[in-house]
């Protein structure tokens, strides 16, 4: 169905023109944004920020000043409860680098150049475990926000491979074979990073990146076994010849992070990516993203159980 919208949009673009306008958008109210994640074998990590008016400044200072300090953040797995500490990107505890890099969107080596703060814990008892449900509580300015998420059983691919396209013998998609478990409600997220060694002697990608439509659930294929392909999202970042867009070149080595999540997190991500994909599309209905946080904050408290596979792009 999504294609319908894109095609229609394409048709409109043939005849339409776009210009910037100044228009009154009434009704701005500042809201809290909680962005928390807990993954298998990783500490809980929470960033708190506030929404900005559409016409507010968008420079780096505005971005950095948007983070909120001084909140009391606790995570409980039903047995243990831990208060998270506030850490900043230039002074992170050992082991928090990769997840902080992913959350801040800054490469791990550059973290020290910025001062962005978040909440996490070094307490090993709060490292994410499959099968557990984690309750997040944020207290700020007399308000309490709560959210709960589960780390569900992961599902592993049967196999992964690379296959060149007929028209491009040295470029192809990443393919996998998946057997969906028999119970309904499995939800998946696809992320990749390339670990080929670059000119600087480091892997070319530090952080995982999502493709255009990274989440899906088993609504249409519950219990089935089938193969499917995903595009290379990095190919859209650099100047890639049109015929190679979305394809991995022969010789790439790619880590596929395939995470599972609970239904509420899935719904959040589904609507989030829909919002991103349909931005500026007149045929979509503008909707806010439903989340799992009570108390009126935006964002999500997301538990993931990733499985990792390495794909070597060789026939």
Upper half-sphere CA count for residue 160 (Cβ side, 13 Å): 19
Residue 97 in tokens? 């680098």
Q: How far apart are CA 74 and CA 68, in angstroms?
A: 15
- Please tell me whether residue 98 binds another protein under the rule CB under 8 A: no
CB of 199 to another protein, least distance (A): 21
Q: Pick the stretch among 1-9, 77-85, 92-100, 252-260 that binds another protein (CB under 8 A).
A: 1-9
Is there a contact between 47 and 96 (Cβ–Cβ < 8 Å)?
no
Q: Who's near 187: CB < 8 A, 6+ residues apart?
A: 215, 216, 217, 218, 260, 261, 262, 263, 265, 266
- The reply on whether position 202 binds another protein by CB under 8 A is no
Binding mask 253-272 for another protein (x = CB under 8 A): ----------x------xxx
251 with 201: CB under 8 angstroms?
no
Residue 22 in contact with another protein, rule: CB under 8 A = yes
Q: Which residues sit opposite 36 in a β-bridge? A: 46, 301
Whole-number Å distance between alpha carbons of 153 and 262: 10
Q: How many residues bind another protein (CB under 8 A)?
A: 79
105 binds another protein (CB under 8 A): yes
Here's the x/- map for another protein, 131-150, by CB under 8 A: it reads as --------------------
* Alpha-carbon span 283 to 287, nearest angstrom: 12
49 binds another protein (CB under 8 A): yes
Taking CB under 8 A as the rule, does residue 303 contact another protein? no
The tokens describing 277, both together, are 């994909």
* The only residue of 129, 253, 277, 281 in contact with another protein, by rule CB under 8 A: 281
User: Least distance from C-beta 175 to another protein, angstroms?
Assistant: 11
110 vs 65: CA distance, rounded Å? 19
The most distant pair of C-alpha atoms in the chain lies apart, rounded to whole Å, by: 61
Would you count residue 238 as binding another protein (CB under 8 A)?
no
Among 68, 106, 265, 311, binds another protein (CB under 8 A): 106
Query: What region, left, alpha or beta, does residue 187 occupy, with left being phi > 0 and alpha being psi -120 to 50 degrees?
Result: beta
Among 158, 202, 237, 243, binds another protein (CB under 8 A): 243
Least gap, CB of 96 to another protein (angstroms): 16
Considering the rule CB under 8 A, would residue 82 count as an interface residue with another protein?
no
Task: Give which of 263, 269, 271, 176 is closest to 218, Cα–Cα.
Answer: 263
Q: Which of residues 27-46 bind another protein (CB under 8 A)?
A: 27-31, 33, 35, 37
Please pick, from the candidates 78, 98, 182, 290, the single residue that binds another protein as defined by CB under 8 A.
Answer: 290
CB of 33 to another protein, least distance (A): 4
Selected binder of another protein within 142, 201, 286, 296 (CB under 8 A):
286
Single out the residue of 224, 236, 251, 294 in contact with another protein (rule: CB under 8 A).
224
Token digits of residue 288: 């806010």
Single out the residue of 88, 289, 295, 307 in contact with another protein (rule: CB under 8 A): 289
């Amino acid at each position: 169905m999504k294609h319908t919208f894109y095609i229609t949009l394409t048709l409109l673009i043939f005849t339409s023109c776009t210009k910037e306008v100044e228009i009154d958008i009434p009704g701005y109210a500042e809201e809290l944004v909680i962005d928390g994640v807990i993954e298998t074998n990783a500490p809980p990590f929470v960033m708190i920020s506030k929404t900005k008016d559409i016409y507010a400044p968008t420079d780096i200072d505005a971005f950095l000043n948007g983070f909120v300090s001084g909140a009391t953040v606790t995570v409980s797995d039903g047995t243990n409860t831990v208060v998270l500490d506030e850490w900043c990107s230039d002074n992170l505890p050992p082991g928090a680098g990769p997840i902080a890099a992913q959350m801040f969107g800054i490469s791990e080596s550059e973290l020290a150049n910025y001062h962005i703060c978040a909440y996490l814990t070094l307490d090993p008892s709060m490292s994410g475990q499959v099968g557990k449900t984690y309750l997040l509580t944020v207290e700020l300015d007399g308000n309490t926000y709560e959210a709960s998420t589960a780390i569900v059983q992961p599902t592993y691919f049967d196999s992964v491979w690379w296959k060149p396209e007929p028209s491009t013998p040295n470029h192809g998609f990443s393919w996998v074979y998946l057997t969906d478990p028999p119970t309904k409600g499995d939800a998946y997220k696809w992320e990749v990073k390339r670990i080929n060694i670059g000119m600087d002697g480091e892997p070319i990608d530090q952080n995982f990146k999502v493709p255009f439509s990274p989440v899906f659930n088993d609504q249409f294929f519950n219990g089935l076994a089938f193969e499917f392909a995903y595009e290379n999202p990095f190919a859209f970042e650099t100047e890639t010849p049109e015929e190679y867009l979305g394809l991995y070149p022969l010789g790439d080595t790619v880590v596929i992070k395939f995470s599972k999540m609970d239904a509420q997190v899935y719904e959040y991500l589904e609507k989030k990516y829909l919002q991103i994909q349909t931005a500026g599309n007149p045929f979509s209905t503008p909707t806010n993203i439903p989340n799992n946080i009570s108390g009126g904050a935006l964002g999500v408290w997301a538990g993931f159980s990733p499985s990792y596979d390495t794909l070597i792009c060789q026939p």
